[in-house]
A and B are shown apart, each in its own frame.
Chain A
């Protein structure tokens, strides 16, 4: 029976090739998009998984509450926290371990003692207990060896890179940052890419030295702490002890009220409030957004199917009648029609899979991650595809099947089933729904693109173009060479300016401090402190509004501030601030200049209060303003001089432009996704519309022919066929507008600097949808109106 159904299904699909093609085209593109979205979401949802008792693993994170209502969060903890918690929380916690991120120069010599490898790498200082919390796969050695401060553990990849074969690595030695030699005591299997902690080089925590080892007032995002709960302990029971803990250790007065939170391991990849070592965060909201788009794509494609199927229903009414008269049961017909749907959906899935495979590299590129479409590696993808088939078959096939199998046989045979059967009303509603989705997406895309353009064109308050940021090694030895280095740089013909500084005016690397103004007590907000030399203003083209520039100095003896800082201090006239003293961290210096506000972070965020003072040991970058015409050549010279000046280190450069563009990576991805999916959805909707109008035109051939012999002109006929479609798309626009408005205004709220929503994207979306509708429908109905009249009227 099924085989027979399949055969009949095949014939019917073949007979209506055109509609079958439209259905398959729409469904397969829709399914490919859904599969892509699914595998992306699956990949993102697979982060930090697969550890033993992973639901008992937590990270300790920090928070500060300020009097002005602001809250500040950090993924890091004060260095003394881990040992203190190990002691105070022992009834609840099985193991707790500190982990410290650092980067430095790794040097490896070959057997003859000659330098073989010199490279800057990320390293982690870890306590052995860390490996009791995370059960990595050990290829050789064991974690207890990290109790010895002169040992190092490598990942398989690193061991292979450093020593040719990881099996040879054990016992070999490497040098870190020119200070210490470490002996390899273990190798772990490579940690999969979907992990927030990417351990490659693990140094013993005992070897980590820092002056803040006992300081509760200093938190760096490089210092994290993880623990594993004891079995059967509820995380809530730790709240009481935590309060006591905070009271016990935070005894000094500070502008913000310190707090800690226990973040489940499963939250680390998704929570945008805290960062993580991998730097990759994927807010769940965005994943849900993608899922919703995927769902809408599927709905749109299914609507095509329903519309075409119910439209065709009439032409198949005779078949239904005959089958019923022959003794076919309604249920049998239902199964037959569903088989047809299933066949189409299945073919679409196959084509969709091919499209997925084709689109995958683009997707990987866009997200910069190694998502894979292997159903063997991830059987869940296969499960998803099967569910998709079932879902779409039922969604798309059930209603038309019910309608068709329900025809009254007597009427059907006498051909009395009229074209309205199968819900002309429903069809109209579905078209409206479909186009409302399409128009919403068009408007969303237009607004996102507009906002991106706005962001790109925002005046930053400084000029970031053609500025190279070159790393400066700054230990006590290298800082002595700064002055000569700077002079040499300035002599290069293509260099227009050089400034040594802690960060560029706009940076992700920010440093907050509390301070007091003019002898008062500590203010209740933090100031973003940047250290820079006297060339900073000129190099970045920053504008002074009062006072003067810093004078050349190696230490901090004067400050410049920005306008926001004065506003926060309630100072109206910038000149009033000149000469007033700022004390911070035991140092006191006068304000000598006020800088016009500049955007110091991404445009998602407002401008910080900023303090700039000279301080040589805090100069991490040489900012080099270049003549943009001879950029590359100049940078080659810069590199050469750098390598001669700092032979013990590794050169690294980046361009400020690129870094600033990187702030908006997320938006860029969103923009691209929206553009792609908007085009996909427009395409699906309009081929559906084309199918529907084709059908209506065929359905009305007789009417068209009659009207023609009654004297209707082609234009009049085209108008007649078009009218209802234009109206439907118009109504869809009206439905879409408020939805789109809600969506885009919500999205724009995430930007501190944003466009005002104007009517234009809405009008444009309407124009686009109406014009495409008009063109699509007119082409088809013109053909119908020009068709040979006789053929339609000759034979009944």
Chain B
């Protein structure tokens, strides 16, 4: 009875989601049969099951689902912060399911930018220094660094705030800095876990506009977790997850 209900409620993911995008786009992320569970007293508690999906360069994907569904876990696996218990993960055709530290740092420096719900700026550093940090790790030359940061500050309209510390900023401003920092290293993909979760709707809207712009104008791939249907509309594809299973994979018009 229960099983039947589930079948009725969700459609099988039978669409080719990227079909409407130019098929020349490169495959960026390929997940095959990803599983993740936590064993507690011998009982396996599944957080993700049989997650198989492909994300191409230039997509703007929103992951949605009820609380505890495994959205953050999936995003963490995409960001290589966690390893799946089972399955394979290919990034630009390279198997990154288990990766040594040097390789992973390499990816962080050049391909992946993170945006957090709680911003996670470094409290002891100014806005400017926060944005500069990834560039220092990437060993970008100082003049190049200065011009990139100036560019970002200007673009996000936070030039006046560059010498302030995070606790002197509003939540929305902190998140702008967080995004600016993620962009500084010019990543190919931005992973954002509820980037607007702590923000008011107007501020949230601003951030979403920004994401959309980054996606369309700069071609940056964006993968975000969100609870808001409205936020999800900014993207072009929505992954619905429940109980660790991808229940629905739909394109947004």
Which A residues form the contact surface with B (CB < 8 A)? 416, 418-420, 702-703, 705-714, 716, 789-790, 793-794, 796
Closest residue of chain B to A705, judged by CB?
B120
**Contact indicator B185/A714 (Cβ below 8 Å):** no
Assembly CA distance A709 to B105 (angstroms): 8
Q: Verify if B128 is at the interface (C-beta below 8 Å from A).
A: no
A709 and B137 in contact, given A418-B123, A793-B116, A793-B120 (Cβ under 8 angstroms): no
Which B residues form the contact surface with A (CB < 8 A)? 72, 76, 79, 81-82, 101-102, 105-106, 108-109, 112, 114, 116-118, 120-124, 133-134, 137-138, 167, 181, 185
**Contact indicator A710/B102 (Cβ below 8 Å):** no
B191 to chain A, nearest CB (A): 9
Q: Which of A703, A709, A713 contacts B81 (CB 8 A)?
A: A709
Closest residue of chain B to A792, judged by CB?
B120
Cβ contacts under 8 Å, B82 to chain A: 790
Closest residue of chain A to B116, judged by CB?
A793
Closest residue of chain B to A709, judged by CB?
B114
Among B79, B81, B108, B116, max chain A CB count under 10 A is at: B81
**Contact indicator B137/A702 (Cβ below 8 Å):** no
Assembly CA distance A793 to B124 (angstroms): 17
**Contact indicator B137/A711 (Cβ below 8 Å):** yes
Cβ contacts under 8 Å, A793 to chain B: 81, 116, 120
Assembly CA distance A707 to B181 (angstroms): 11
Assembly CA distance A194 to B106 (angstroms): 74
Q: Which of A702, A705, A710, A716 contacts B134 (CB 8 A)?
A: A710
B134 to chain A, nearest CB (A): 4
**Contact indicator A711/B79 (Cβ below 8 Å):** no
Q: Which 9 A-B pairs have the closest CB atoms?
A: A711-B109, A711-B137, A711-B108, A710-B134, A796-B118, A790-B81, A709-B114, A706-B120, A703-B122
**Contact indicator A707/B167 (Cβ below 8 Å):** no
Assembly CA distance A703 to B82 (angstroms): 18
A716 and B101 in contact, given A711-B109, A789-B81, A793-B120 (Cβ under 8 angstroms): no
A796 and B81 in contact, given A416-B167, A711-B109, A790-B76 (Cβ under 8 angstroms): no
Q: Which of B76, B117, B134, B167 contacts A711 (CB 8 A)?
A: B134
Cβ contacts under 8 Å, B76 to chain A: 790, 794
Cβ contacts under 8 Å, A705 to chain B: 120
A77 to chain B, nearest CB (A): 75
Cβ contacts under 8 Å, A713 to chain B: 101-102, 105, 137
Cβ contacts under 8 Å, B105 to chain A: 708, 711-713
Cβ contacts under 8 Å, A711 to chain B: 105-106, 108-109, 134, 137-138, 185
A45 to chain B, nearest CB (A): 52
Assembly CA distance A714 to B167 (angstroms): 28
Cβ contacts under 8 Å, B167 to chain A: 416, 418
Cβ contacts under 8 Å, A703 to chain B: 122-124
Cβ contacts under 8 Å, B108 to chain A: 708-711
Assembly CA distance A420 to B167 (angstroms): 14
Cβ contacts under 8 Å, A790 to chain B: 76, 81-82
Assembly CA distance A702 to B167 (angstroms): 15
17 residue pairs from A and B, CB less than 8 Å apart = A416-B167, A418-B123, A419-B124, A705-B120, A706-B120, A708-B105, A709-B112, A709-B114, A710-B108, A710-B137, A710-B181, A711-B106, A711-B108, A711-B137, A790-B76, A793-B120, A794-B72
Known: A712-B105, A793-B116. 10 other contacts (CB 8 A): A419-B123, A420-B124, A703-B122, A706-B121, A707-B137, A709-B108, A709-B112, A711-B108, A716-B137, A790-B82
A11 to chain B, nearest CB (A): 26
Assembly CA distance A705 to B121 (angstroms): 11
Closest residue of chain A to B82, judged by CB?
A790
Cβ contacts under 8 Å, B81 to chain A: 709, 789-790, 793
Closest residue of chain A to B109, judged by CB?
A711
A702 and B120 in contact, given A709-B81, A710-B133, A793-B81 (Cβ under 8 angstroms): yes
Cβ contacts under 8 Å, B114 to chain A: 709
**Contact indicator A714/B101 (Cβ below 8 Å):** yes
Cβ contacts under 8 Å, B118 to chain A: 796
Q: Which of B79, B102, B121, B137 contacts A712 (CB 8 A)?
A: B137
Cβ contacts under 8 Å, A702 to chain B: 120
B64 to chain A, nearest CB (A): 19
Assembly CA distance A346 to B44 (angstroms): 47
A19 to chain B, nearest CB (A): 22
Assembly CA distance A796 to B81 (angstroms): 16
Closest residue of chain B to A411, judged by CB?
B167
Cβ contacts under 8 Å, B109 to chain A: 711
**Contact indicator A706/B122 (Cβ below 8 Å):** yes
Assembly CA distance A711 to B135 (angstroms): 9
Closest residue of chain B to A707, judged by CB?
B133
Q: Which of A706, A709, A710 contacts B79 (CB 8 A)?
A: A709
Assembly CA distance A710 to B120 (angstroms): 12
Cβ contacts under 8 Å, A712 to chain B: 105, 137
B112 to chain A, nearest CB (A): 8
Assembly CA distance A708 to B114 (angstroms): 11
Cβ contacts under 8 Å, B185 to chain A: 710-711
B119 to chain A, nearest CB (A): 10
Assembly CA distance A709 to B189 (angstroms): 13
Cβ contacts under 8 Å, B181 to chain A: 710
Cβ contacts under 8 Å, A796 to chain B: 117-118
Cβ contacts under 8 Å, A708 to chain B: 105, 108
Assembly CA distance A713 to B181 (angstroms): 18
Assembly CA distance A420 to B165 (angstroms): 14
Cβ contacts under 8 Å, B120 to chain A: 702, 705-706, 793
Assembly CA distance A418 to B121 (angstroms): 13
Assembly CA distance A418 to B168 (angstroms): 13
Cβ contacts under 8 Å, B121 to chain A: 706
Closest residue of chain A to B125, judged by CB?
A703
Assembly CA distance A418 to B118 (angstroms): 16
Cβ contacts under 8 Å, A416 to chain B: 167
Assembly CA distance A794 to B72 (angstroms): 8
Cβ contacts under 8 Å, A707 to chain B: 122, 133, 137
Assembly CA distance A789 to B138 (angstroms): 19
Assembly CA distance A524 to B133 (angstroms): 82
Cβ contacts under 8 Å, B133 to chain A: 707, 710
Closest residue of chain B to A706, judged by CB?
B120
A716 to chain B, nearest CB (A): 7
Assembly CA distance A152 to B223 (angstroms): 107
Among A416, A709, A714, max chain B CB count under 10 A is at: A709
Assembly CA distance A709 to B79 (angstroms): 9
B118 to chain A, nearest CB (A): 4
Assembly CA distance A793 to B116 (angstroms): 8
